[in-house]
Every structure is written in structure tokens, then in C-alpha cells.
Amino acid sequence: TRTRVAIVGGGPAGLALSHLLHVAGIDSVVIDNRTYHEIETTHRAGILERDSVRLLLDSGVSDRVLRDGHEHQGIDIRFGGVSHRIDFQNLVGASCWLYPQTDVFIDLHAARTRDGGDLRYGISEAAVTDHRDEPHVTYTDADRRRHEITAELVVGADGSRSICRDLVADPQRYFREYPFAWFGILAEAPQSAPELIYTRSPHGFALISQRTPTVQRMYFQCDSDENPDDWSDDRIWAELQRRVAGDDGFSLNEGPIIQRSVLPFRSFVQSPMRDGKLLLAGDAAHTVPPTGAKGLNLALADVRVLADVVERALVKNDDAALDSYTSRALTRVWKAQHFSYWMTTMLHRSPDASDFDELRQLGELTTLVSSEAGSTYLAEGYTGWPHH
């Protein structure tokens, strides 16, 4: 096959890029070693920034987010057993949307299928060669046949275990590890609150999120080596309840736990995000800890920049466009890295925290919720800096 852009990775980043390129009249082929079903059933984040929603609407992906998603005009920050509402609409005139990543994936896949997109799932042994000169992508299909795609550009949107990332020569790699992880559950229970609650407690962090009126998503800070099978439903509920407990008597509605897993938790950036005719997008180039829900949104922001860069390079023959990609994308990446790191360190308990550290953290949270300047920064970052 010959195409203009070969996209390795058919998750939200790869599909969104393929869609935006299609809108610009540029052909692409998307490959992914997972099946559609595997991706569709992998639970990921649930919050879209304002401009992620606009991207889905304005580029003609789907308006299902308006019908099946839920606008959230604020969040609660809870500590010392008291909730403090951060009112996004009052502070910055923006909202975020509860709309699971799996639904974003389903909508993007449906749009590409509707528009005749070339999507190849369930492949194996993908490899990229000659990415500085004439890129080739080879892979094996489900019937063990080898295929070759020749393209003008290759995009690595192949997630945190990217094969494309390693093709970048002499990269800088920036890491930050955290001494904890998240235990995530899906539970069949009624909602406990109308919006999300981010809780700091003496027993560690907890996040109360939602999926549908009858299915809820919750997370709590745990040890990095925690085994989810060691936890009974009762033990999970007891842990969540004590983290949200307070003098206001707030408690969670409980129900059967239908899914559980321990989430990876780290910060990572690779620079540059381009080498020759290969460009990286999303988790292939960077990972954020989940606090603040920036991962998917950051991938979509990369793709917005990347679609512009690719269009200028391929349609307007602007050779300098590719050179601008890394610096344009990384400006936002580092803002999101800071935001995610800040939300994480402000709300989690570090196992080696001293009394000073704990009281300083409460001082920071008190500043945040009592200062309009502090709350405004949170509202701005959470609902998302504008796409350019």
C-alpha cells in the first residue's frame, strides 16, 4: 500500500489525527496490534477539556458527547473532612465534560469508518524502517500475511509502550516516579455526588468519579506493588469510606465492584518528538500521572498541532513546518506535566512525609480554596488551556 501518512496506533490519538488529515484531504492508514474490542473495553480516563469537546464537535466527529456526556461546571476539593467547590464557570467561564475515553474512541472509529478510513486492527510484528528517507511500515495480519505500507510521513501514536519512540536518535528522556499508585474500580451503585470529588485525607488520596447513573468510577491511592486480588469488596469500600469521611457526614453509595485494577503512575517526557519523517503524538512521547485527567486531552492537543504541521508539510510544501512540531507541542506538554504533578503532590500522602510536610500541604490546599487567584489557576488548567 502507498499512502501519505502511516499512523502506528489506532487509539484516540491515531484516529483523531487520521480524521483531521481526512478533513484536510490527506490520506492515511492506521494500524494497531490490539483489536477494536480490546481497546473498546479497556477503561481509561473520563474527563474532556473544553477544547477536546470542541474538537469532536467542530471537526465533525460526532455530537454524541452533548447527548451522552455530562457537563461539569466545577469539582470539589475535599480535605479535613470538608468539601470546597471550585466553580469553573464563575472563575473562567468554562466547563469540562464527563465522557469516557472509550466513548471518544468509539466516536472516532465510527467517524473514520463512515468516511471510508483505512483502519487495520489486530495486526502483529509492526516495524518502521527508513524513517529519515522513505518510511516503510511492515506488519503481519491475522492470517499471517506480511504487508508493507510506504508513506511520506510516519506518526507514532502507539502509546506508552511505543515502538516508534525508540527510533528517535539521541533523545532526552525526563522521568519522575512517585512512591504510590492508584487503585481504580468500577462499581454498580448510584452516584454519590453530582460532580467529581478529589479528596486528601490522612489515609491518602481518593477520587470519586462517575460513568453512568448506575455505574461509578472511583480511585484511591495505594502502594505501587498492590495486588488488586488481595482486596475484597468490603475492604475496598471501607478504605474509600474512611478517606471521604468528615463531620458533614458525607458517605459513598456502595454496590458490587465489577472491575478493578492498579494504574501505572509516573511522569515522562521524550524530546524531540520528531526525527526525520517520523513524528510522535500522545503517550508515545509523554505520560502524566492521572490526577487532573490530562493524558487523553494532551494527546488530542498534540494531534491538533500535528495535523496543522503535516498539512503545511504535505500540501503547502512548507519544509520548516516539521521542524516546529517539537517546540509547539512541548510548550503545552510541560504545562500539563506541571499541572498533573502539582495536583498529585498536593493531594497524595507521601509515605516519608514529615509533620512539616503534612501541615504545609494543608496550608497549600487552604490557600487554593480560599484564594480566587489559586482557584482560578486550578479552573484554568482543569478545563484546559485553549488549543491554538
By beta-carbon proximity to ligand DHB, the closer residue of 265 and 325 is 265
320's enclosing H/E stretch is: helix 320-347
- Alpha carbon distance, N-terminus to C-terminus of the chain: 34
- Chain positions 131 to 150 lying near ligand DHB, rule: CB under 6 A, are none
CA distance 248 to 250: 6
Give the chain's count of helices (H) and strands (E): 11, 21
Angle at 255 between CA 250 and CA 256, to 5 degrees: 150
Does residue 288 bind ligand DHB (CB under 6 A)? no
Least distance (Å) between residue 159 CB and ligand DHB: 16
- Residue from 6, 20, 21, 45 touching ligand DHB (CB under 6 A): that is 45
To the query of whether residue 72 is one of the catalytic residues in this protein, the response is: yes
User: Which residue is catalytic, options 19, 22, 72, 348?
Assistant: 72
- Residue from 62, 83, 162, 209 touching ligand DHB (CB under 6 A): that is 209
- Chain positions 189 to 208 lying near ligand DHB, rule: CB under 6 A, are 196, 207
Report the candidate in 84, 123, 105 with the shortest Cα–Cα distance to residue 1. 123
- Residue from 12, 292, 381, 384 touching ligand DHB (CB under 6 A): that is 292
SS3 230: helix
By beta-carbon proximity to ligand DHB, the closer residue of 140 and 224 is 224
Residue pair 6/99 in contact by the 8 Å Cβ criterion = no
- Chain positions 58 to 77 lying near ligand DHB, rule: CB under 6 A, are none
Site size for ligand DHB (CB under 6 A): 11
CA distance 215 to 151: 43
Contact window for ligand DHB (CB under 6 A) among 22-30, 39-47, 129-137, 316-324: 39-47
Does residue 46 bind ligand DHB (CB under 6 A)? yes
To the query of whether residue 382 is one of the catalytic residues in this protein, the response is: yes
Other Cβ atoms within 10 Å of 25 Cβ, number: 10
Residue pair 108/61 in contact by the 8 Å Cβ criterion = yes
**Per-residue interface string for the shown chain with ligand DHB, residues 210-229, x marking contact by CB under 6 A:** -------x------------
Least distance (Å) between residue 328 CB and ligand DHB: 25
By beta-carbon proximity to ligand DHB, the closer residue of 291 and 361 is 291
Residue pair 5/152 in contact by the 8 Å Cβ criterion = yes
Residue pair 282/298 in contact by the 8 Å Cβ criterion = yes
By beta-carbon proximity to ligand DHB, the closer residue of 44 and 277 is 44
Question: 366: which residues sit within 8 A by CB, 6+ positions away?
Answer: none
- Residue from 16, 30, 47, 346 touching ligand DHB (CB under 6 A): that is 47
Question: 304: which residues sit within 8 A by CB, 6+ positions away?
Answer: 20, 55, 387
Q: Describe the crossing of helices 355-370 and 320-347 by its angle, rounded to 10 degrees.
A: 110
Contact window for ligand DHB (CB under 6 A) among 118-126, 286-294, 362-370, 373-381: 286-294
- Residue from 290, 300, 306, 325 touching ligand DHB (CB under 6 A): that is 290
CA distance 83 to 75: 10
To the query of whether residue 294 is one of the catalytic residues in this protein, the response is: yes
- Residue from 168, 293, 336, 368 touching ligand DHB (CB under 6 A): that is 293
Q: Which residues are catalytic?
A: 72, 198, 290, 294, 382
Which residues are near ligand DHB by CB under 6 A?
A: 45-47, 196, 207, 209, 217, 290-293
